[in-house]
Amino acid sequence: MPEFVLAGLYKDTLVITEPSTPPSAKLVVKGNEINSPEKPKVAEKQVEVPKWWYGSNSQRIAILVEDKSNVFIGEKELEFLTNILKACKLSISDIALINYARTPRSLEELIHDPGCTHFLLFGLSPAHLQLQFNFPLYQPQAVEQNQLLLAAPLSSMMSTSPAAKAEKMKLWNALQQFFQLKG
């Protein structure tokens, strides 16, 4: 038999080197191709961007500190802050704890990401958030549709001295107003 006749009898490949599509494969129309088998969807690998704040931020509350020696905050300060949050009926999962020393941001940036509406600044001034005005400690301020509260650094409230107790009392009174804890 001549070669061209033999080649005409076997138009398709005799040896299959790629896995074939199972008969149950769904045929679809894609672009100009008709009845092309649908390719299996490959799960896209999602790259998780590391958070630059600590906490889950479920209540959209940013607590900003300035701690140059820790990633977020020291262990004793975290324990003290956790107790403050408990008194306010909040937890670490309700907030975004941000160490301004590691990740400085403007108020506008903080409103966008992590998306907060309440900002409690321990030992920071409005200038840190690129605000052009100042206001006193422990007096909640509305800035657009956001609430800000300035407080002394956490470390200044952690001792048992009369001055530390006075700062804690000022903070507690301000937090009751800030979070509307008084009925």
Classified as helix, coil or strand, 121 is strand
pLDDT digits (tens, 9 = 90+) for 122-173: 999 999 999 999 999 999 999 989 999 999 999 999 999 999 999 999 999 9
Burial of 144 (0-12, 13-18, 19+ CB in 10 A): exposed
C-alpha 139/C-alpha 126 separation (Å) is: 13
Classified as helix, coil or strand, 55 is coil
Assigned fold of 61-178: Uracil-DNA Glycosylase, subunit E (3.40.470)
Phi-psi region of 89 (alpha: psi -120 to 50; beta: other; left: phi over 0): left
Confidence of residue 2 (pLDDT cuts 50, 70, 90): low
Confidence of residue 9 (pLDDT cuts 50, 70, 90): low
Between 37 and 50, the higher pLDDT residue: 50
Residues in the chain: 183
* Mean pLDDT on 15-27: 54
Confidence of residue 3 (pLDDT cuts 50, 70, 90): low
pLDDT digits (tens, 9 = 90+) for 57-67: 999 999 999 99
Confidence of residue 51 (pLDDT cuts 50, 70, 90): confident
Task: Please tell me the predicted confidence (pLDDT) of residue 178.
Answer: 96
Confidence of residue 15 (pLDDT cuts 50, 70, 90): low
Predicted structure pTM score: 0.72
